[in-house]
Amino acid sequence: MQDKANPERISDAELAVMEVLWEQSPLAAKDIAGKLEESRQWSLTTVKTLLSRLAAKAAVTHRQDGRQFLYTPAVEREDYVTGESRRLVDRLFGGKFMPLVAHLAEKENLSDEDIAEIERLLREMKS
């Protein structure tokens, strides 16, 4: 079983459900399906399947409320993003951060504003 700060890999579909729960929770499956209806057109059954997978991965918890379950994220969004960022750097850049920064700087045509923001972050990190 994974700890809360480091859940198993979450698929893109599961991440859509997590985004809803990070925005508002606890929610029932039908409420999550309603919030995803316009962007994903998923059935309630699909959402319940995704919630079941997320519960098995220890990414969400649930409690019974009458005849339905209410779901809550078991991992904070920031912790998840940190873990995914680390996995990306490890997998694609040998665990080194600078090759990622260099790649993005070369391929993304950073604006002066982007560069100033990076410099500001680096100054803060040095302090």
CATH class of 78-126: mainly alpha
pLDDT in tens, 28-73: 999 999 999 889 989 999 999 999 999 999 999 999 999 999 999 9
Mean pLDDT of 89-103: 88
| Fold designation for 12-73 | Arc Repressor Mutant, subunit A (1.10.10)
Instruction: Break the chain into its structural domains and give their ranges.
Output: 12-73, 78-126
Global pTM? 0.78
Q: How many helices (H) and strands (E) does the chain have?
A: 6, 3
Q: What confidence score (pLDDT) does residue 40 get?
A: 92
Three-state SS sequence of the chain: CCCCCCCCCCCHHHHHHHHHHHHCCCEEHHHHHHHHHHHHCCCHHHHHHHHHHHHHCCCEEEEEECCEEEEEECCCHHHHHHHHHHHHHHHHHCCCHHHHHHHHHHHCCCCHHHHHHHHHHHHHHHC
More confidently predicted of 111 and 52: 52
pLDDT above 50: residue 3: no
More confidently predicted of 50 and 99: 50
State the sign of the Cα–Cα–Cα–Cα dihedral 24, 61, 70, 17. positive
Q: What confidence score (pLDDT) does residue 63 get?
A: 97
